[in-house]
């Protein structure tokens, strides 16, 4: 049966991959997506732009958001619009709260006013856990939240207001908290794409062979964005509204520090003699040393299992930045 699907943040990293997934697997669906008139970069969705019903919408404005919901009449919402780069959140905490919390609240309130039964996926972040000790691993949905940056605080608020609207008004809110996912289209302000971008510039003869990096010892479980997209879709198919579920790879082969990821990318390079140094410009005021999750409850309910290897994540990211550098889009 045909349905209306709304993707917020469709021009970004995760949202653009969900656009591709929906167009490929649900050709009968009517796909709506938000953008901010002249402000949204369309590079990631240019190939599919004509197949999308675009909604000019600033989610921080309740009127704009209500009009978008009224026009789309969604059956399913993937809410990926967010300020997601951690580092600027210290200097712009109000902006992060405006987008991540208020933007989500505006959608929820618009759905409440419309009496909508839409399924709304709210994707949280492992960053919400913050200062986790080794003895507390693996992280579970019951693990205490100790966020150590403003971005993480806004994601906690986003998640909890979704829970409030589910409990108070019966909204069909699907709550997930995803751990690190990487791959093509992730911008170079983030760790792994930043390394890959610099390596691509070295290979093209555009940069010196010494890379500048930030803190490298934080450990993560990495998942390919395409696997994460499938997980998000299954979440809206299989999960109940209300409870929180953690999402991410648990394979030991996918658990690495950022230093290990950097050195693996350097090993994949065609350039010889690449070195790196820690630049204070890229070191955050606080670190999140370890984010390793127990995602068994999610996998039990959905049958999801990541299929793409850690090494493929790195290879795909490096190839993406090679293409962008070669095309002069960097």
Tell me if 13 sits within 8 A of 81, measured CB to CB: no
* Beta carbons of 150 and 93 less than 8 angstroms apart: yes
Query: Residue 186 CA to chain centroid, in angstroms?
Result: 9
Do 320 and 196 contact (CB within 8 A), yes or no? yes
- Centroid of chain to Cα 120: 16
| Domains contained in the chain, CATH given | 4-181+223-247 (3.40.50.720), 183-220+252-291+308-326 (3.90.25.10)
Measure the CA–CA gap between 270 and 108, rounded to whole angstroms: 49
Whole-angstrom Cα distance, residue 270 to residue 262?
A: 15
Encode the chain (330 residues) as per-residue pLDDT tens digits.
689 999 999 999 999 999 999 999 999 999 999 998 878 889 999 999 999 999 999 999 999 999 999 999 999 999 999 999 999 999 999 999 999 999 999 999 999 999 999 999 999 999 999 999 999 999 999 999 999 999 999 999 999 999 999 999 999 999 999 999 999 999 999 999 999 999 999 999 999 999 999 999 999 999 999 999 999 999 999 999 999 999 999 889 999 999 999 999 999 999 999 999 999 999 999 999 999 999 999 999 999 999 999 999 999 999 999 999 999 988
Work out whether the CA dihedral 180, 241, 300, 143 comes out positive or negative. positive
Angle CA 136–126–182, to nearest 5: 125
d(CA 248, CA 11): 23
């Amino acid at each position: 049966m045909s349905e209306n699907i709304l993707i917020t943040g469709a021009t970004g990293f995760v949202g653009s991959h969900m656009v591709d997934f929906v167009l490929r697997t649900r050709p009968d669906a009517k796909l709506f997506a938000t953008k901010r008139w002249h402000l949204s970069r369309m590079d990631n969705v240019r190939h599919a732009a004509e197949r999308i019903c675009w909604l000019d919408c600033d989610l921080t404005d309740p009127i704009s958001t209500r009009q978008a919901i009224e026009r789309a009449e969604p059956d399913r919402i993937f809410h990926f619009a967010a300020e997601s780069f951690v580092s600027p959140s210290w200097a712009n905490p109000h902006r992060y709260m405006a987008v991540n919390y208020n933007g989500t609240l505006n959608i929820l309130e618009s759905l409440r006013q419309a009496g909508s039964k839409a399924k709304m996926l709210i994707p949280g972040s492992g960053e919400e856990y913050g200062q986790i000790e080794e003895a507390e691993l693996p992280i579970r949905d019951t693990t205490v939240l100790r966020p150590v940056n403003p971005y993480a605080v806004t994601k906690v608020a986003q998640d909890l207001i979704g829970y409030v609207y589910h409990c108070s008004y019966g909204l069909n809110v699907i709550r997930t908290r995803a751990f690190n996912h990487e791959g093509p289209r992730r911008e170079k302000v983030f760790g792994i794409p930043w390394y890959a971008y610099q390596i691509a510039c070295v290979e093209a003869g555009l940069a010196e062979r010494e890379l500048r990096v930030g803190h490298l010892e934080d450990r993560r479980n990495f998942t390919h964005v395409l696997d994460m997209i499938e997980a998000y879709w299954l979440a809206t198919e299989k999960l109940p509204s209300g409870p929180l579920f953690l999402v991410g790879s648990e394979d030991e082969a996918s658990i690495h520090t950022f230093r290990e990821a950097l050195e693996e990318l350097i090993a994949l390079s065609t350039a010889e003699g690449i070195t790196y140094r820690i630049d204070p410009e890229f070191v955050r005021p606080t670190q999140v040393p370890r984010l390793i999750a127990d995602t068994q409850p999610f996998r039990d309910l959905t049958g999801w299992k990541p299929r793409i290897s850690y090494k493929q994540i790195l290879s795909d990211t490096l190839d993406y930045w090679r293409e962008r550098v070669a095309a002069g889009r960097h």
